[in-house]
Amino acid sequence: MLDSDALRGRLVTRSPAILLPLIALVLLTATFDAKGTDRKVQVSDFGKTANGISVYRYTLTNDRGVEAAVISYGATLVSLKVPDRDGKIADVVLGYDTLDGYEQGASYFGGSIGRYGNRIAGGQFTLDGKVFQIPTNDGPNSLHGGTIGFNKRIWTAVDRSRSDADVLELSYTSPDEEEGYPGTLKVKVTYTLPAESNELRIDYMATTDKDTVLNLTNHSYFNLTGDASQTILDHQLTLHALKFTPVDSTLIPTGEERAVQGTPFDFTKPTAIGARINQDDEQLKFGKGYDHNWVLEKTDKVGLQPAAEVFDPTSGRVLEILTTEPGIQFYSGNFLDGTAKGKGGQLYAYRTGLALETQHFPDSPNHPKFPSTVLKPRQIYRSTTVLRFSTRK
């Protein structure tokens, strides 16, 4: 075996001329690295809102064919292109081609959700002895922040790209009492796409000047086939959760944390989403399918933890979700009814996309036993979720 030090020694001592191409190679590599420091998010116009505000589309790319596009309206993830097992790239999230789709849409495609992801019963909660009423927009309850949530606000974007990643930081200041919530809330959502790995990281940060409640998430709908004319019923799902939080008929948690074992809610092993979705089960009936929060394991530990895995057998695409959050809302696209005209004119039909919203539990402000969603002045809210893509045979 030829020892590399010996080889280097021989090259240096015996044939200095051979060093020239080597030096050239080193210089070339250095130039390539330096180019890496110039990573940049690409910006393009995405039209104007009905009120005449300009919206921009930001495209993050990596060196492995992954591309993520985010718009300043709603800090919304509008496109996420990833390879299948043959290297074929396709967009795996639902959305619209134009801004008015996002302005008029009621499905929250790819949106940054706030102030409160999922439902608050009766749109009401008590904080520091004071009752707060927020708009109800989902039967008797408030859903995803109220009438105009963060997904319908204009965010300010800054390119924070580094030598090893494309990074887009979006900021929004929510005034005191916006949608009835207390406190001026300064919130940042940062999307990071590393140059060398196929994962999109979403970091949330927020501060408030008054006690408030907060539960931020992203509402992407995935269809790993890359073809949203197909349902997600054959996708195999794993959830790292032994319990879920059952709901009442308006999808508000009852407060119970119920074992999934022996129920259609057991995704501890990879299971096709469609395998049990139509079973005669009260919880499935309430949700019109899956629309529930699972209690992630090891919630007492800090840091990113595996939460979910989705595998599409046709394309081989695998999505792993890691999060710092204690819960995940798995929603099987039960309210999609073929009326939303999506990208490329595709009408999104029943169960053609699935959402996995990493979050604190729904209606936590009214459930003292659930992990707290209270944010106080001088505290910093932080939350991270990673969408990691790979493929499998």
* Rounded Cα distance, 170 and 13, in Å: 56
User: Could you tell me if 20 and 12 are in contact, meaning their C-beta atoms sit under 8 angstroms apart?
Assistant: no
Q: Is 363 in the site for ligand GLA (CB under 6 A)?
A: no
Q: Output phi, psi for 313, to 5 deg.
A: -60, -30
Contacting ligand GLA (CB under 6 A), which of 73, 102, 108, 116?
108
The yes-or-no answer on residue 178 being catalytic is no
As a whole number of angstroms, the distance between CA 186 and CA 375 comes to 12
Stretch that binds ligand GLA, among 35-43, 63-71, 156-164, 329-337 (CB under 6 A): 329-337
Nearer to ligand GLA, 149 or 183 (CB): 149
Kindly tell me which residue out of 96, 102, 331, 370 binds ligand GLA, with binding defined by CB under 6 A: 331
Among 56, 132, 286, 335, binds ligand GLA (CB under 6 A): 335
Alpha helices in 267-341 (DSSP H): 282-287
Of these residues, 178, 309, 325, 357, which one is catalytic?
A: 357
Which residues on neighbouring strands pair with residue 138, listed in sequence order?
A: 141
Q: Which of 355, 356, 386, 387 binds ligand GLA (CB under 6 A)?
A: 355
CB of 221 to ligand GLA, least distance (A): 9
Catalytic residue, candidates 144, 219, 235, 292: 219
| Nearer to ligand GLA (CB atom), residue 66 or residue 213 | 213
Q: Cα–Cα distance between 368 and 253 in angstroms, integer?
A: 12
54-93 footprint of ligand GLA as x/- string (CB under 6 A)? ----------------------------------------
Could you tell me which of 161, 175, 188, 150 has the C-alpha nearest to residue 73?
Answer: 150
291 touching ligand GLA, by CB under 6 A = yes
> Which range, of 13-21, 93-101, 183-191, 328-336, touches ligand GLA by CB under 6 A?
328-336
Tokens 């979050």 label which residue?
A: 359
Name, in order, each residue with C-beta under 8 angstroms of 383's C-beta and a sequence gap of 6 or more. 203, 204, 216, 323, 324, 325, 358
Q: Is the peptide bond before 276 cis (omega within 30 degrees of 0)?
A: no
Query: Site map for ligand GLA, 222-251, x if CB under 6 A?
Result: -----------------------------x
Does residue number 143 form part of the binding site for ligand GLA (CB under 6 A)? yes
Question: Near ligand GLA by CB under 6 A, which window of 8-16, 266-274, 316-324, 327-335?
Answer: 327-335
Comparison of 183 and 246: residue with beta carbon closer to ligand GLA: 246
**Beta-carbon contacts of residue 118 (< 8 Å; ≥ 6 apart):** 143, 144, 215, 217, 293, 329, 357, 359, 362, 363
217 to each of 3, 206, 266, 310, how far by Cα in Å?
53, 13, 23, 18
Q: Please, what is the Cα angle at 335 between 329 and 338, to 5 degrees?
A: 135
Position closest to ligand GLA via CB:
331
Could you confirm whether 357 is annotated as catalytic? yes
Q: Which residues from 246-275 bind ligand GLA, rule CB under 6 A?
A: 251
Candidates 151, 208, 212, 329; binder of ligand GLA (CB under 6 A) is: 329
As a whole number of angstroms, the distance between CA 393 and CA 318 comes to 10
Whichever of 142 and 391 has its CB closer to ligand GLA, that residue is 142
Question: The tokens 């032994």 sit on which residue?
Answer: 242
Spatial distance between the Cα atoms of 308 and 319, rounded to a whole number of angstroms: 8
The footprint of ligand GLA (CB under 6 A) covers 107-108, 118, 143, 251, 291, 329, 331, 335, 355, 357
What residues are labeled active site?
219, 357
